[in-house]
Structure 1
């Protein structure tokens, strides 16, 4: 019997960040908490209107937000985010994979969070010839 994924917060780094279009579509009014955070060991690459996160060197940093869905809608939010990211657990051909990763809050505390990372072979293509996002912060310099 399949088990339900853990009810972890989500680390978001692109269009799901507060103030962006997919946050309004998928998360607005459905979160218990939202706070600035970062993840280490991840590189961010430019995509077609949204970024891709890829596992990288330990000193790489991506800036984003830690978003905790309300308990009463957590499963619904996870399903909506999986659909948005084109993620089906165990399916070949996923654009993204949802993985548990360590996110660091502003106070330095680390928590486990869901992170969508580019799936292979896309991740390999990005490592080889992708355009890195300067400073690992996709929103820096972009108009809201």
Structure 2
């Protein structure tokens, strides 16, 4: 798994108004801007959302593009991987993938995105709960 210093696309509790942002990202950010991940769907999970690739036309996830200060990056990456249950073997609760998101200004940017991993797949199959708006804040 690469540790390249890309910004993070956050869409749930890690957004700037979310409780996990305060604990894991506050004070480490260089920039936060509204962004959208096209070709993905948001599902309501057990207190947090699941993002999954979804080619259905119009599917998108609303979130934020978070750039972390270089001096804080390694610590933020390790903290977020641990929070998301991201495992090097790809079998965790989430998997971290390099994807392209669009900022509010229309700029395409590569970012790390945490998608539902294999450990979440069973939960999603058992209880699919699509958030039609694609916005965790508007569920």
- Aligned partner of 1:63 in structure 2 is 62
Written as runs of structure 1 = structure 2, the 5 A alignment for 1:32-47 is: 32-47=30-45
In 1, are the aligned partners of 2:98 and 2:110 still within 8 Å (CA)? yes
> Does the residue aligned with 1:53 lie in a helix, a strand or coil?
strand
Which has the larger displacement, 98-107 or 120-129?
120-129
Pairwise CA RMSD of aligned residues?
1.8
Runs of 4 or more, structure 1, over 4 Å off, are none
> Does the residue aligned with 1:6 lie in a helix, a strand or coil?
coil
Structure 1 position 81 matched with structure 2 position 80: yes
Which has the larger displacement, 19-28 or 52-61?
52-61
- Aligned partner of 2:46 in structure 1 is 48
Written as runs of structure 1 = structure 2, the 5 A alignment for 1:1-144 is: 5-57=3-55, 59=57, 60-92=59-91, 94-120=92-118, 122-123=120-121, 126=124, 129-140=127-138
Distance (whole Å) between structure 2 residues aligned to residue 86 and residue 124 of structure 1? 15
Which has the larger displacement, 101-110 or 83-92?
83-92
In 2, are the aligned partners of 1:44 and 1:133 still within 8 Å (CA)? yes
Unaligned runs of 5+ in 2: none
Unaligned runs of 5+ in 1: none
Q: C-alpha displacement at 1:140, in angstroms?
A: 1.8
Q: C-alpha displacement at 1:127, in angstroms?
A: 5.7
